[in-house]
Amino acid sequence: MSRPATHQPRLTGRRLIIGLPWLWLGLFFALPFLFVLKLSLSESVLAQPPYLDLLREFTDGVLVLAINLGNYQLLLDDSLYLKALLSSLQIATISTLLTLLLGYPMAYAIARAPRHWRLPLMMLIILPFWTSFLIRVYAWIGILKNNGLINQLLTGLGVIDSPLEMLHTPVAVYIGIVYSYLPFMVLPLYATLIRLDLTLLEAAADLGCRPWKQFLRITLPLSLPGVLAGAMLVFIPVMGEFVIPDLLGGPDTLMLGKLMWTEFFSNKDWPLASALAAVLLVVLIIPFMLLRHYEQRNLESSP
Amino acid sequence: MTQTPSKPALDTAHTAYQTPSVRFEDISKSFGSTAAINNISLDIHQGEFFSLLGPSGCGKTTLLRMLAGFEAPDRGRILIDGEDMTRVPPYERPINMMFQSYALFPHMSVADNIAFGLKQAPMTRSLRNARVSEMMELVQISPLARRKPHQLSGGQRQRVALARALARHPRILLLDEPLGALDKKLREKTQFELVNIQERLGTTFIVVTHDQEEAMTMSSRIALMREGRIEQLDAPRRLYEFPASRYAASFIGSINLFEAQVLQQTGNELTLACDATGTELHAHCSEKMLPGMTLTLAVRPEKVRLLQPNEQSPNQLRGRIKDIAYLGGVSIYHAELPSGKRVQFTQSNVQALAEQPLNWEQDVVLGWQPDSCTVLTE
Ligand SMILES: Nc1ncnc2c1ncn2[C@@H]1O[C@H](COP(=O)(O)OP(=O)(O)OP(=O)(O)O)[C@@H](O)[C@H]1O
Ligand SMILES: [Mg+2]
């Protein structure tokens, strides 16, 4: 492909439009991340602020730059961090699958509901956002605890004798995450399902395809972009989730977000917390890159 | 109106004993308060190229969708090869449909689109691949096998849709405005291809169109529809030459209509008085007409002749040329009668140059034979 040789400074409007997101990304993502990266390479001390600057001193024209890889070394050495990463990955993956399993039928039902029903149903999905996230997670404590709503109901009905242990278990964490992140799955799914051309399903039926297979061969593949968008919207924030495992999880609920909080606020180890954050970002970016690569190849595959 | 050679009507005496390929029995269908289909009964025979013709909103698509099984009739039965299919779901009917919007699966290649219907039935892979290749050759899209629908032109998509619908070798193929998205030239070419394919495969084709020329070119029979009913059901030639009503007459091609009162009838020779022409008109009519009845006389423009100065005709009008439309092979002239009524007639252009050419504002005498016009009572 040949590019025009002369530079065209005229297209300012277009440049501005392309430039704005980049500027935004630079200011609020790249720059803060650089700070975090710098912090992660510094040494932790008992001081205010609790770390030593990379640029240590500047004397006699000699700049002393101290890069401390010890934090990363520590992350590798102490198996706690690897365990936390794997446990976060596990929790995020399972919760993403659970929200997908729950959210897909919901989005599908709303998209296929009579037109005048769709808006009210969508409102019901979005409505919980109108209350504070924290309050909603707190409410689950009241529902799940030993003398909480569920246990009272079950003992009252005589189904169980002693209360079920639910709060501060992994189950409670999953309930909290799935409950909180469900709308992020339903919204993009609904958006792709509502755009699906229903004559495609008629065409499939006409070609001898039964309803269940129509779903598998037509609806599902064509809604994959929505599935991917929803999965990312759930997976990425859950990886760094702190509030839910802290409030609903037990002491053995290991998640990166919780660990970061502990390192940052309890242990005052800012550099280690930053190193954790940097690792988390890399872990999250890899699948994203793979996806982009795959999509690119998909577009170019056909001659 | 260009008259393209159309296929002869099926010999009804022959087919009368066979079970019809498709039978609509007293079918009615309403959407809310609109009656989309109003008590239609219709037989379509094996191997026919049948057209449903009519203006927008007359119920063509609805009738087709009921046959395909996407819409259930409120009343009546639909039989396919003698079997009641009224409540059978679309995926169990021996019918395939080519959709108006083509409805190609965007995430599948051309070959996968065509193979889709074949995969719904048990069939070995090699047999299936062979059938897909055969179909792609039939509609000449073999080099495009690996492309996705969005990488095709409108004409190519249409071919894929046709190949996909034909791949299962259905006994009946439904086509909803199959050529609507094509330009005129491609459309005419494809019309002949469709007829060729249909003759080669012997499949019953049922085509929806609102293009009367298209219906005339391709069909063995045409059902002309109007507001959910069938106005006239006939072979293209009969529909053109012997329209049953003013509606049919003016929907197919152009035609001159004259309101006239019956003066007398001797045998099948009818004499009428017409205000618009100010003359007596003569026509042939075997039905019994009573004097004083008001009728409509319909004459096709190509049946109206320019009379030479010494010529006489039973139906003779004087007029003045007001409009000339040159169409290449023929020209269409509009002559204005003293009453202000306009009469259309056509002249072949070989003639027009050989004799004296007609000009605007020229006075002419026109005439036609009593047996070249149709008497309409509706
Ligand atoms: N799903 C529907 N809901 C309500 N009314 C409908 C529906 N489908 C069709 N109709 C109505 O039924 C009548 C017949 O519609 P149909 O689509 O069969 O017309 P058509 O002859 O195919 O017209 P066109 O040439 O414009 O495609 C119209 O008045 C239309 O408005
Ligand atoms: Mg239609």
CATH of the domain at B160: 3.40.50.300
Mind listing the pLDDT tens digit for each residue in B321-333? 888 888 878 888 8
Domain shared by B50 and B184, yes or no: yes
Domain-terminating residue out of B243, B274, B298? B243
Report chain B residues whose CB lies below 8 A from the CB of A302: 109, 146-148, 151
Residue A231: predicted pLDDT: 93
- Name the residue with tokens 């469900």: A182
Residue B17: predicted pLDDT: 56
Confidence check: pLDDT of A144 > 70: yes
Residue B213: predicted pLDDT: 85
Contacts 24+ apart (CB under 8 A), B125-133: B131/B167, B132/B167
Query: What distance in Å separates residue B105's CA from the closest CA in chain A?
Result: 7
Atom of ligand 1 nearest to the CA of B62: 18
Give B198's contacts (C-beta < 8 A, 6+ positions apart).
Answer: B49, B173, B205
Confidence check: pLDDT of A4 > 80: no
Listed by number, the residues of chain A in 206-225 with a beta carbon closer than 8 Å to a beta carbon of chain B are 206-210, 213, 217-218, 221-222
Give the integer Cα–Cα distance in Å for A156 and B125.
Answer: 61
Query: What distance in Å separates residue B223's CA from the closest CA in chain A?
Result: 24
Tell me the residues surrounding ligand 2 (ion) with CB < 5 Å.
B 61
Atom of ligand 1 nearest to the CA of B55: 25
DSSP A184-207: HHHHHHHHHHHHS-HHHHHHHHHT
Mind listing the pLDDT tens digit for each residue in A54-92? 777 777 777 777 788 888 998 888 888 999 999 999 999
Give the integer Cα–Cα distance in Å for A21 and A2.
Answer: 26
Domain shared by B265 and B235, yes or no: no
- Better-scored residue on pLDDT, B333 or A11: B333
Domain shared by B63 and B168, yes or no: yes
CATH number at residue A191: 1.10.3720.10
The Cα-based distances of A198 to A98, A188, B70, B108 in angstroms read 27, 18, 12, 16
Cβ contact, residue pair A204, B107, below 8 Å: no
Distance B65 CA to ligand 2 centre (A): 10
Domain shared by B191 and B332, yes or no: no
Confidence check: pLDDT of A8 > 70: no
Report chain B residues whose CB lies below 8 A from the CB of A204: 105, 116
The Cα-based distances of A300 to A34, A227, A294, A303, B47 in angstroms read 34, 22, 10, 7, 43
Give the integer Cα–Cα distance in Å for B289 and B168.
Answer: 54
The partner residues of B295 in beta bridges, in order of sequence, read B260
Closest residue in B to A198 (Cα) is B103
Closest residue in B to A302 (Cα) is B147
> What value does the mean pLDDT take over residues B207-235?
90
> What value does the mean pLDDT take over residues A92-121?
96
**Number of domains, chain A:** 1
Domain-terminating residue out of B188, B212, B243? B243
Domain shared by B228 and B272, yes or no: no
A165 part of a folded domain: yes
Band of residue A1 on the pLDDT scale cut at 50, 70, 90: very low
Mind listing the pLDDT tens digit for each residue in B121-159? 899 999 999 999 999 988 889 999 999 999 999 889 989
Give the integer Cα–Cα distance in Å for A26 and A30.
Answer: 5
Q: SS3 string of chain B?
A: CCCCCCCCCCCHHHHCCCCCCEEEEEEEEEECCEEEEEEEEEEECCCCEEEEECCCCCCHHHHHHHHHCCCCCCEEEEEECCEECCCCCHHHCCEEEECCCCCCCCCCCHHHHHHHHHHCCCCCHHHHHHHHHHHHHHCCCHHHCCCCHHHCCHHHHHHHHHHHHHCCCCCEEEEECCCCCCCHHHHHHHHHHHHHHHHHHCCEEEEEECCHHHHHHHCCEEEEEECCEEEEEECHHHHHHCCCCHHHHHHCCCCEEEEEEEEEEECCEEEEECCCCCCEEEEECCCCCCCCCEEEEEECHHHCEECCCCCCCCEEEEEEEEEEEECCCEEEEEEECCCCCEEEEEEEHHHHHHCCCCCCCCEEEEEECHHHEEEECC
Give the integer Cα–Cα distance in Å for B69 and B272.
Answer: 50
Give the integer Cα–Cα distance in Å for A172 and A89.
Answer: 17
Which protein residues are within 6 Å of ligand 1, measured from CB?
A: B 31, 34, 36, 54, 56-62, 210
CATH number at residue B290: 2.40.50.140
Domain shared by B275 and B328, yes or no: yes
pTM value is: 0.81
Q: Which residue segment(s) compose the domain that B129 sits in?
A: 12-243
Atom of ligand 1 nearest to the CA of B65: 18
Mind listing the pLDDT tens digit for each residue in A261-280? 888 888 888 899 999 999 98
Report chain B residues whose CB lies below 8 A from the CB of A203: 97, 99, 103-105
Which residue, among B92, B101, B105, B109, would best test binding to A if mutated, counting the most A CBs under 10 Å from its CB?
A: B105
Q: A10-19, A83-92, A260-269, B243-252 — which is least confidently predicted?
A: A10-19
Q: Which residue segment(s) compose the domain that A194 sits in?
A: 71-300
> What value does the mean pLDDT take over residues A113-130?
92
> What value does the mean pLDDT take over residues B216-225?
91
Give the integer Cα–Cα distance in Å for B63 and A3.
Answer: 55
User: Strand B49-53 vs strand B204-209: parallel, antiparallel, or unpaired?
Assistant: parallel
SS3 A285: helix
Give A32's contacts (C-beta < 8 A, 6+ positions apart).
Answer: none
Report chain A residues whose CB lies below 8 A from the CB of B171: none
Domain shared by B143 and B67, yes or no: yes
> What value does the mean pLDDT take over residues A29-47?
87
A195 part of a folded domain: yes
B248 part of a folded domain: no
Domain shared by B267 and B237, yes or no: no
Measure CA of the first residue to CA of the last residue in chain B; give whole Å. 23
Of A207, A218, A221, the CB nearest to B96: A207
**What is the residue with the minimal CA distance to atom 4 of ligand 1?**
B31
**Number of domains, chain B:** 2
| Beta-carbon contacts below 8 Å between A and B | 63
Q: Work out the percent of chain B whose per-residue pLDDT is above 90.
A: 41
Report chain A residues whose CB lies below 8 A from the CB of B107: 221-222
B4 part of a folded domain: no
Q: Cβ(B237)–Cβ(B219) under 8 Å?
A: no
B7 part of a folded domain: no
Residue B353: predicted pLDDT: 57
Domain-terminating residue out of B243, B268, B284? B243
**What is the residue with the minimal CA distance to atom 19 of ligand 1?**
B57
Domain shared by B103 and B237, yes or no: yes
Residue B84: both structure tokens together? 């009641």
Of A199, A207, A222, the CB nearest to B168: A207
Domain shared by B291 and B339, yes or no: yes
- Better-scored residue on pLDDT, B29 or B19: B29
